[in-house]
């Protein structure tokens, strides 16, 4: 048995949960916050048999997509902030970060 942990953008969570449920997977959803942009993410835990890992990861891959987003950089720490003029920068956000972990023991009560 494996535990698939997916960290995805909030914008993709409803679509992905629907796709996982329709494919017969059960998922636990946790709210999380990204460290870089400090924006809301969703972390999903999906317990799957070994032969279902690729199917679950494939659903995540096909549902969660990267997007371009404008962000304004923070002022530099320790430097002269009065001469710093922040300009919006376009970066790529989203997609998914997926971890597949071995499960030594599973119990459901």
Q: Is residue 107 part of a domain?
A: no
Q: Is residue 109 part of a domain?
A: no
**pLDDT, position 104:** 95
Question: Which CATH number is 88's domain given?
Answer: 3.30.70.120
Report the predicted TM-score, pTM, of the whole model to 2 decimal places.
Answer: 0.76
**pLDDT, position 95:** 79
Q: Is residue 92 part of a domain?
A: yes
Percent of the chain surpassing pLDDT 70: 74
**Domain with 30 in it:** 2-102
**pLDDT, average across residues 77-92:** 65
Burial class of residue 29, CB neighbours in 10 A (0-12, 13-18, 19+): middle
Q: Is residue 91 part of a domain?
A: yes
Q: Is residue 108 part of a domain?
A: no
**pLDDT, position 10:** 87
Residue 44's contacts (CB-CB under 8 Å, 6 or more residues apart) are 4, 5, 6, 8, 13, 16, 17, 20, 27, 28, 29, 30
Average pLDDT in the chain = 85
Residue 92's contacts (CB-CB under 8 Å, 6 or more residues apart) are 66, 67, 68, 69
Total domains present in the chain: 1
**pLDDT, position 24:** 96
The yes-or-no verdict on residue 22 having pLDDT over 80 is yes
Separation of alpha carbons 98 and 5, rounded Å: 6
**pLDDT, position 6:** 96
pLDDT in tens, 23-64: 999 999 999 887 665 677 899 999 999 999 999 999 999 998
């Amino acid at each position: 048995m494996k535990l698939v942990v997916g960290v995805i953008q909030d914008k993709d969570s409803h679509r992905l949960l629907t796709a996982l449920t329709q494919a017969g997977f059960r998922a636990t959803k946790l709210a999380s916050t990204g460290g870089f942009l400090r924006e809301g993410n969703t972390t999903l835990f999906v317990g799957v048999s070994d032969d279902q890992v690729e199917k679950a990861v494939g659903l995540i891959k096909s549902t969660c997509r990267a997007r371009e987003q404008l962000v304004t950089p923070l002022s530099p720490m320790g430097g002269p902030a009065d001469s710093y003029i922040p300009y919006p920068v376009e970066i790529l956000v989203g997609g998914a970060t997926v971890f597949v972990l071995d499960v030594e023991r599973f119990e459901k009560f």
